[in-house]
Amino acid sequence: MFGPRIDGHNGIALVPSTLEHFKLHMSWMLQPETDRFWGPRFGEMTDEKQEERFKKTGEDQTQIQWSIAYQDEPVGFAGIFDIDWVRRDGESGIFIGRHDLYGRGIASEAIRLRTDFAWRELRLHRVHNWIAHANRGSRRANEKVGYTQMGLFRRSFFRSGEWYDEWLGEAYPHTFPDQR
Ligand SMILES: CC(C)(COP(=O)(O)OP(=O)(O)OC[C@H]1O[C@@H](n2cnc3c(N)ncnc32)[C@H](O)[C@@H]1OP(=O)(O)O)[C@@H](O)C(=O)NCCC(=O)NCCS
């Protein structure tokens, strides 16, 4: 399902994704600047497939997906996936498709809004994620809202001629800065 609009600081908001946003994903995900640590390097990236993915995402009761808006333009997406409503645990993910906007704090604010929603609205007990250890920007943005390392999955995936370790992170309501 798609999450509701949540306005944050500095012109950054989480907004419900539209089909037009999903169609933008294709060009966002197939760039070397954005897919270094994440994203498919193969697969069916067509308008038809994106329509199918959009419909499935909207119907899926085990995920909350948003587009990230910056100054009212869609620039990426974020969400919590594979939510187990009994264990109250889910996996989080984020992707900024506009690499010309990296380093402006967009991910940090989007992750703060997403994590706050996980605790205050979804009442989750824990959120976890997998981040390439070398992906410092993503790790840092998550650590700032209370994610800490629970493990290191060595040589998790092979890309561009080298193996990457993955940092396994977890966050809880009591690790969220505003609630400490
Ligand atoms: C990783 C990503 C989400 C970061 O987005 P962003 O909007 O540039 O991040 P922010 O500007 O909020 O920066 C977050 C923190 O990381 C730091 N940072 C950002 N990029 C960095 C880099 N390349 N190297 C080191 N630190 C970096 C920032 O300084 C900031 O820390 P600070 O607040 O202490 O100064 C974005 O680059 C992205 O979407 N990449 C492609 C997809 C991806 O890797 N997704 C994550 C999969 S786990």
Beta bridge partners of 65: 2, 79
Where would I find the H helices in 30-80? 47-59
pLDDT in tens, the chain (180 residues): 999 999 999 999 999 999 999 999 999 988 989 988 976 677 888 999 999 999 999 999 999 999 999 999 999 999 999 999 999 999 999 999 999 999 999 999 999 999 999 999 999 999 999 999 999 999 999 999 999 999 999 999 998 899 999 999 999 999 999 754
Residue 149 belongs to some domain of the structure? yes
Q: What is the DSSP letter of 5?
A: P
Q: Whose CA is nearest to atom 27 of ligand 1?
A: 137
Residue 157 belongs to some domain of the structure? yes
In a 10 Å sphere around its CB, with 0-12 CB exposed, 13-18 middle and 19+ buried, how is residue 69 labelled? Answer: buried
Q: Is 111 in the pocket of ligand 1 (CB under 6 A)?
A: no
Residue 1 belongs to some domain of the structure? no
Total domains in the fold of the chain: 1
In a 10 Å sphere around its CB, with 0-12 CB exposed, 13-18 middle and 19+ buried, how is residue 108 labelled? Answer: buried
Q: Is 75 in the pocket of ligand 1 (CB under 6 A)?
A: no
Residue 111 belongs to some domain of the structure? yes
Q: Model pTM? A: 0.96
Q: Is 159 in the pocket of ligand 1 (CB under 6 A)?
A: no
Residue 18 belongs to some domain of the structure? yes
Range of the domain at 70: 6-179
Q: Whose CA is nearest to atom 45 of ligand 1?
A: 95
Beta bridge partners of 14: 6, 68
Q: What is the CATH number of the domain that holds 170?
A: 3.40.630.30
Ligand 1 centre to CA of 51 (Å) is 29
Q: Whose CA is nearest to atom 18 of ligand 1?
A: 137
Ligand 1 centre to CA of 59 (Å) is 30
Residue 15 belongs to some domain of the structure? yes
